Structure 1
């Protein structure tokens, strides 16, 4: 067979809008297939396509630190077996983009080494804790290969699309039954992470590091966003918009509030947070009635040891259906807590079990996550596909930045959400910075 190891469909490369690295070729995947399939003979064809539709990306949010520094691809391989039969294999591949803008800063966060540790080591161990108790609980796609070649980290993961997994419409959010199931899965993940800590000691330093918003006090980016936010807020329909505009934190208050969220008391119940838990990072296998049969989490670059309040605030604010987000907020916390305690007992957690009232107190103590995720992530999550709007443009001073911010902050879906979220946060005293 001719050597086509570096040949790909021209349309595939163009569709990606990025240059496919030359090392991602038939020879690379031949080694993987030989290791996994004893009767593998040869690769007949290899195709590389975007892992998700244009304008979207699996687990991608324009506020994500890795958005412009990761390449996410679906690898489809036609193979011939030793008996002459053919079959098709597909994988999801995630790798670092060489020389991407901002890669130096991203490397200081160690998000890629952290994700490699999660897929390769920690997640299988969390799943094994349940297997030892006679339960099958899976948290993520299977990792077929995780490697670090001269600082370039790459992951080859199970492609769950053939198994009918996919994302919900992020603009609509999870319904009541879906939220119930996602909260249970989150409780399973958190419980296992707490027991892992109990058995193995502290997580590596990367999982305990504090990441504060960069340069908020030294640049104009935060100030211009706040100015546009207040201007947009005046048009939302609040009877007294100044009541909320006056409570938007200054840059110093914003950073200090974030720092307090990272400082957990020693006796406080802690878990390994996913750290970026919204619908785009949750893959569902659903019935025709939209009930969840199974689900997996993806994108483990922001995992961090701390209060479960971080994941709970982000999940509820960013991904619950707008009619449920506030109305069912306390009910969602109870669902999570009930299952969390059940899982901790199953896994023989030896420390005192967290009380429901303690969890509510933690949600208040770390309530800045509620405001933070509303002001940042939710803006993009509720924005219909718009290639014009991204985080750098949102932070840009001047007329172009003002125009982009006005468009984002007056998006009807975001306005509807904010009209219920901000009064809710205010009633709980969480806008007192």
Structure 2
């Protein structure tokens, strides 16, 4: 994999205003480095730059400052996707407008918590949207192995922070009669459903061809007939009323977008969410369904599925009460019903998410969005690796019949 060249605009001077505002007694920058720390397959809709600065202070000492800078991708497919979804604008609303309010809501309620890393702003207008965050890796935060999935302790910790996030946003929505307008508008605009249908045809074809490998050939006709229903269910999910229980969703809540901090015995201390590019006004079931099917390890994924829903609900209600949520609290029964309403997320995970999540970087070269979304001629090698990988096949052998037996493809 070739190294990503540092953009000409990404210089030390850009960070002077940030340091002046956030580093006490800042004098000047002694040393500036930028590198891309993630391997292929970890990020598709952005490029992340790890920034390290040696700052000279006015007392003669120095301080190391570390940031993560998120910028738009170079892939044509990825650029088109983030443009359609206004991904960077959505995420900027989260980091710069909403999260400071959510943190303050909890502080006033007597709970010290943090949902996401702190964000900072440049004084200079770059002409495009970027997001500058603290690099929480310096505090010991890290992702867990996406190929293995989250164990019980990490899954429960992730559900706790997801419940905090949802409770704060639900309370904000009631208190402010909604979210910023971009988050309230349907994400799927005119023509986007047809575009979505066309874009996923190559993956659907490969998935059906591989059913014998998953020991699920008997589901061929059911899956083929479900395709138009799937798109209709996605479109219907965009219709939300203020009378519903609504939250700001994360939208892409899987293990690579969750960071964990541990003590010296590997127990989870704190958990943060990152990457809010597809957040919107919706049901909490969207995130919950996506997370449970995409990110938990296979040995607990189905066995504890209902328990995880109950655990999330328990934490959600605790935080709603703490924040003074003024409308009717959702029951556990309500949540289970919503999980069925958002059952299309099961197909989303099988078709689009798990093939990428479980793709071993060693299995294929040129892992990128264009190959992932291309036809057999353009991305055949990558797609074959995605849908025939050992980890993916093992999960599909259990997930396909489980989802079918729950009526998710009916």
Q: TM-score, normalised by structure 2?
A: 0.91
8 A contact 2:222–2:409 mirrored in 1: no
Match for residue 40 of structure 2?
55
- The question of 1:315 aligning with 2:291 is answered yes
- The structure whose residues are more often helix, as a share, is 2
Partner secondary structure for residue 210 of structure 2: helix
Query: Per the alignment, do residues 162 and 398 of structure 1 end up closer, same or farther by CA in structure 2, a change over 3 Å counting?
Result: closer
The CA distance in 1 between the partners of 2:358 and 2:284, in whole Å, is 24
Q: Give me the TM-score of the superposition, normalised by structure 1.
A: 0.87
- Can you list the C-alpha shifts for 1:170-201, whole angstroms capped at 9, x where unaligned? 01111111111111111111001011111112
Q: Which residue number in structure 1 is paired with residue 104 of structure 2?
A: 128
Counterpart check, 1:349 vs 2:334: no
**Cα contact 1:173–1:320 (8 A) shared by 2:** yes
* 1:246 to partner: Cα distance: 3.0
2 CA distance for matches of 1:84 and 1:382? 49
Greater displacement, 97-106 / 160-169: 97-106
Q: Distance in 2 between matches of 1:150 and 1:74?
A: 18
CA contact (8 A) 1:165 1:283 kept: yes
Q: 1:179 to 1:107 in 2, by over 3 A?
A: same
Measure the CA separation in 1 of the matches of 2:92 and 2:378. 38
SS in 2 for 1:425: helix
2:141 to 148, 155, 165: 165
Residues 218 and 320 of structure 1, relative CA distance in 2, 3 Å threshold: closer
Offset of residue 254 of structure 1: 3.0
Matches within 5 A, 1:284-323: 284-323=260-299
SS of the aligned residue for 1:246 comes to helix
Structural mapping, 1:393-404, within 5 Å: 393-399=371-377, 401-404=379-382
CA-based RMSD of the aligned residues comes to: 2.4
Q: Which residue of 1 aligns with 2:31?
A: 45
Question: 5+ residue gaps in structure 1?
Answer: 1-13
* Most deviating of 99-108 and 86-95: 99-108
Hey, what's the Cα distance between the residues in 2 that align with 1:91 and 1:76?
Answer: 7
**Deviations 1:77-133 (CA, angstroms, capped at 9, x unpaired):** 112211111221111112235896653553342211111111111011011111001
Instruction: Give the alignment of 1:164-183 within 5 angstroms.
Output: 164-183=140-159
- State the shift of 1:404 in Å: 3.7
Aligned to 2:113: 137
Whether the 8 Å CA contact 2:193–2:235 is kept in 1: the answer is no
- Aligned to 1:324, the other structure's residue is in SS state helix
CA contact (8 A) 1:116 1:146 kept: no
1:152 aligns with 128
The answer to whether the 8 Å contact 1:275/1:304 transfers is: yes
Identify which range, 165-174 or 112-121, moves more after superposition.
112-121
Query: What does 1:93-104 align with in structure 2 at a 5 Å threshold?
Result: 93-96=69-72, 103=79
Q: Give the Cα separation in 1 of the matches to 2:255 and 2:196.
A: 33
- In structure 2, the residue matched to 1:7 is none
The aligned residue for residue 406 of structure 2 is 428
Q: Give the Cα–Cα distance (whole angstroms) in 2 for the partners of residues 15 and 397 of structure 1.
A: 24
